[in-house]
Structure 1
Amino acid sequence: MSNEKEKLVFSGDDGIYLRLVTDITLYWRGSMFDHAQGIQNFYAKALGVIGSYLKFYRTESMEGSRPLKPDSLQLLPDWFTKRKGKGKGIYMLSLEGGDDRDEPSEHGFYLLADQEEETKVGVVRLILPSWFMDTGYESVANLLAQLVAGFDFDSGHAGFAVNWDPEGEYENEAASQMLMLAKKYPGIDLNYMDSTIIALQRSDAPSIKCVNWLTLTGAPLRQRLPALEDVREELGRSCPVHELPGCWVIQAGPAPVLGYPDRDEMKPYQRVGALLAPVRLQQHPAIFAESDPGYGTDEWLARLD
């Protein structure tokens, strides 16, 4: 698989614009200020892992990334403790460790919260190198436990994903490459957070975006699922369900997979996907270039049902 992963870094004349990574992503409903403890803890634990790699930052009011300053990492805590920017409709913070401005890197953090709509929702994401989860659940168990502590989130996922800049010079190229990835590599989660935020707001109940190697179900979502013993019986030994304070972690196989060239390695993902299909988001706005009339975002999200 290592040779296949090495191919999944895409560059233009001005540098890398899309790359394979692993990530841990959590979604919540409600005001971000009602989730202050969980968000700040996630942020602090994430910085403990990637802080030394970070070089650039960007907020919702900036047109591009800027070099990290000594006080840049204090922006998010100040939103809560000093209520700086109180009353804003959108909160966004992106931290990256690339060598160039706006380069999607292997170490990053992302927060997006929509506070202006009636249904307030948000997402936090920790971006890690593509090899980070290769050794299986034990390699991320402690980190997951730390990240979710005290966080009343709805759902989340962890595994292979992509990092890209949806506002960058190569956004169209990245969106086209993601269509290729969607068709070829079913084990990679593709993302465009702006559209997922809209899908979450359209949903009248806690939902998952899609399953990945690890699918996290918070307390609000578990109310829509069978009892834990029934979930374990349905999934079998190939898909263990781990319990962390406040959430279940459903594991699809021993380690994350790409799903190419061996489609059979996706069977654990499909097992989890079939179980969770009733709580998956529907009518999701486009994540990637929908230039193929027969294959769009909804078809891609349903690939593991």
Structure 2
Amino acid sequence: MIPSLDHLQRAYAVTREATQVTPLLESAALAKLTGAARVFVKPESLQWAGSFKARGAYWRLKQLSPEAAARGVVAYSSGNFAQGLAAAGEALGIPVTIVMPVDAPAAKREATAGYGARVVLTEHGDRAREEVASEKARAIAADEGLTLLHPFDDPEIVAGQAAAGLEALEQLAAKGAAADIVFCSVGGGGLIGGVALAFHYLSPATRILAVEPEGFDGMGRSLAHGSIEATAIGPSTICDGLMARRPGDAPFEAVRAAGVDGIAVSDAQVRKAMRIAFERLKLVLEPSGAASLAALLSGQADVAGKTVLVIATGGNIALADFLKHVADA
């Protein structure tokens, strides 16, 4: 269940042919604000389809047999995996069906359809929205003979998402730097699983922090207790891409093996981070994409004199929503 370094590197060799090299930005302003020696931000918001998700989605689709690829795939997602998978499917000529909660951001629904995917919406009422959407996706897979893909609980997704970490390691080395601490946001854990393994294998002294919204800190709680623990259904969060109630089995095993720690941030801290990213870095980040920066700025981790890497995971947000969040910061 835990991909090896060779596995990660094979996935990276394939995905780098179809994904963009997102920049590694150094910010003296963020270093001054936080007391860190150096702060680097990797804006995966500039990746194809607006987030890191295209990396894992492309690699996962490349693992399909020709017969399965011809029939197509189905998955559920609140937005970023939906767009990443739809874009990868369009590039590879593989039909994609996405099941999305009806309250997923309209901009993400429209972008997913824009990549040629069929979008099916679900009403979830008082139930956890990922449970309802996943049930619908399983039903469609059974009825139509499609391959069911999980947005994060899949070792191949973990291996594909590791490309963001491997790319960052190459970029840090080119700048003569090594990260002491990495801040990476967590929904179900596909990205943090891959990134944590990349650093675990190649930079084992680096501390990895899994960043989640308050009330949706299933990964942090699971790491603290040594086994997977789901959060209760409660208040919502502006970080719509980080609303998984529990981490996936595959990402959790990867993250636990890499010795990751958890940290939670409030919506207010995320709004502040969105504003600072815009003003200081000229980056437009969605709330989920700014959570890792929020954790750095929150002061919960001691970064004094350290070299820090922040992975800003996505920028898929409507202009009106972005302006509202920034105005409220």
- Structure 1 or 2: more helix by fraction: 2
TM over 0.5: no
- TM-score normalised to the size of structure 1? 0.29
